[in-house]
A and B are shown apart, each in its own frame.
Chain A
Amino acid sequence: MPSSAVTIGCGSAYANDRLEPAVALAKSGRVQYLAFDCLAERTLALAQLRRRLDDDAGQDERLPRIVSELAPFVASGLRVVGNFGAANPSAAANDVVNGLRRAGVAGVRVGVIHGDDVAALVRKLNSRLPELGCSVDDLRERFVSAHAYIGAGPIVALLDEGASFVLGGRIADPSLFVGPICHEIGWDLDDWDRVGTATLAGHLLECGTHGTGGNFADPPYRTVDGLDDIGLPFAIVSQEGALELTKLEGTGGRVDGLTTKTQLAYEIHDPAAYRTPDVVADFSHITVDEMGTNRVAVSGAAGRPRPETLKVLVGIDLGWKALGEISFGGPGCVSRARLGEALVRRRLEPLETDIEDIRYDLVGMTSLFGDRFSSEHPAEVRLRVAARCSTREVAAAVAYEVEYLYFGPAGAGGATQSVVPAIGVTPAFVPVDDVRLDWEIHRS
């Protein structure tokens, strides 16, 4: 029997999010569901590299701690959904089952979704890579991974079968919320306006504290109290389609018209056509009404049939990334930093065939906006040299030359350097019917 309303909160907005606000939400008893988004564009390709080194790796590394902290609440009815699987959903399922057992929570159904890894498919189709102007075959040995953004269907199926913990790989961010909402209040996944409303709720929740006053304060124009203890958002969605957004009493941050609107348009393009695996949502006629302190009602979402293609992110090995920085201060600092830059350029000339891309910036002057805001007399600047190189050795040489400016212009200080594998991602699209998803249930 569907419920008349559902309460669902956000547990995480990215792979490194803090866990305390999610535990507070679980502990409050105010939400039936907590959904965790754990993946940014590059997270999955990096996870795939971890899995290549270790068959049991490639899932969200926070999972053992998340399970241990949430186990008591799962035991008393909280249901958790997340894309914790990243590049290894099976290993993630093991982490969850083992974690629940360790916490003494037996008999919980753990659902795991497979099939978002479409590496074989995009190779077979030789999929187009529009942002690069080439196809998958052209990547040759640089091809690392391909994961399709998948929708809410398998989540609903697993919740229908009684799963209390549902996880998968590249489940699309809003779909993590659409699944529980549609399951709990009995909305059909082909009822486009309803799925548009559920997607609106998911979109407003998926970025975590971006919806409660994070990425917002700009004093004195916009101030946010309690940023140090900012709370995660949660929503109440009724079967009639009413959507209320709020946060826990006693937590920091703010939920009002402006914070909700800035999140509404965050990372969408055409507001009338926000494409997810579940629906083409229409947010072009949304209204936001403040209902009270930290409570808003959001209405007006609509939807059209879901796209016939799924978006895929293809991971690419781009060699090695070098980063070197060093500071200059006081009178003449810009001239000395520019002299340092010239010196590095000269010394790197013999290596230029192995340096695929390099850029020089003066942090404090030109690194964010080029010369749009430049002043010739900053108090200090930091020379930043970033490069992509074909070998680790050349990347290390780039970073070293920046450090060696200790022996270059006068007063260079505070050098730092790093050399890391450079992994890129680029979009592709595959027919939805070519992506075969399956799922299974384990028991703790």
Chain B
Amino acid sequence: VKLREIACSRSGDKGDVSNICVFVYDPVNWSVIQQHLTAEVVRQQFGDLVCGDVVRYEMESVHGLNFVLTEALGGGVSMSLRGDPHGKSYQSLILDIDLPVNVDQSAVVGDN
């Protein structure tokens, strides 16, 4: 399943560090992202956009994960020449990750 089917995300910046949080729409899918959305999977997705580490923090009480990517914004918002120096669009790149699982169809496609 594509992460976008079961979760939402938001990315922000501090200096050259990007953080991207991911929250599942339905708590039933918490174990899916906890098990499969690893720091390594995120690193693969971002490839050479990230020069430093990818660290994952669990926020179990709100069914979310927070990924912290260092050296990930081309030197930082104010230094970078990138078109999106804040990495605001990173939240969309992470949602394109394909997780190797099938999930209950009643728990996909958003909360609306």
Contact B64 A41 (CB under 8 A): no
Q: Smallest CB-CB separation from A273: which chain B residue?
A: B57
A358 interface hit (Cβ, 8 Å): yes
Q: Which residues of A contact B17 (CB under 8 A)?
A: 269
Contact A258 B76 (CB under 8 A): no
Q: Which residues of B contact A272 (CB under 8 A)?
A: 57
Contact B62 A261 (CB under 8 A): yes
Contact A131 B77 (CB under 8 A): no
Question: Known contacts A369-B49, A369-B93; is A267 also within 8 Å of B14 by CB?
Answer: yes
Distance A358 CA – B82 CA, assembled complex (angstroms): 10
Q: Which residues of A contact B48 (CB under 8 A)?
A: 370
Contact B112 A221 (CB under 8 A): yes
Q: Smallest CB-CB separation from B16: which chain A residue?
A: A131
Count A-B pairs with CB separation below 8 Å: 137
Question: Known contacts A387-B81, A424-B78; is A368 also within 8 Å of B89 by CB?
Answer: yes
Q: Which residues of B contact A223 (CB under 8 A)?
A: 112
Distance A370 CA – B12 CA, assembled complex (angstroms): 19
Question: Known contacts A261-B23, A265-B64, A288-B62; is A368 also within 8 Å of B83 by CB?
Answer: yes
A418 interface hit (Cβ, 8 Å): no
Contact B93 A269 (CB under 8 A): no
Distance A427 CA – B17 CA, assembled complex (angstroms): 12
Interface residues in A259-303 (C-beta closer than 8 Å to B): 261-272, 283-288, 300
Distance A300 CA – B76 CA, assembled complex (angstroms): 32
Contact B57 A262 (CB under 8 A): no
Min Cβ gap A387→B in Å is: 7
Q: Per a CB cutoff under 8 Å, which of A45, A222, A358, A386 touches B110? A: A222
Q: Per a CB cutoff under 8 Å, which of B57, B61, B112 touches A270? A: B57
Q: Per a CB cutoff under 8 Å, which of B46, B57, B93, B111 touches A258? A: B111
Question: Known contacts A284-B59, A300-B61, A369-B89; is A131 also within 8 Å of B111 by CB?
Answer: no
Q: Which residues of B contact A222 (CB under 8 A)?
A: 8, 110-112
Residue tally, chain A, CB below 8 Å to B: 53
Q: Per a CB cutoff under 8 Å, which of A271, A300, A372, A427 touches B93? A: A372
A215 interface hit (Cβ, 8 Å): yes
Q: Which residues of A contact B83 (CB under 8 A)?
A: 361, 363, 367-368, 384, 386
Q: Which residues of B contact A427 (CB under 8 A)?
A: 15
Q: Per a CB cutoff under 8 Å, which of B77, B84, B92 touches A42? A: B77
Min Cβ gap B74→A in Å is: 8
A426 interface hit (Cβ, 8 Å): yes
Contact B59 A258 (CB under 8 A): no
- The CB with the most chain B CB atoms within 10 A, among A45, A131, A285, is that of A131
Distance A423 CA – B48 CA, assembled complex (angstroms): 25
Q: Which residues of B contact A263 (CB under 8 A)?
A: 10
User: Which 4 A-B pairs give the minimum distances between C-beta atoms?
Assistant: A265-B21, A267-B12, A221-B110, A386-B81
A selection of 28 A-B contacts at a CB cut-off of 8 Å is A41-B76, A41-B77, A42-B78, A218-B92, A220-B109, A221-B8, A222-B110, A258-B8, A258-B23, A261-B21, A261-B62, A267-B12, A269-B14, A270-B68, A271-B66, A272-B57, A284-B59, A288-B62, A367-B84, A368-B84, A368-B93, A370-B49, A372-B45, A372-B46, A373-B93, A386-B81, A424-B76, A426-B76
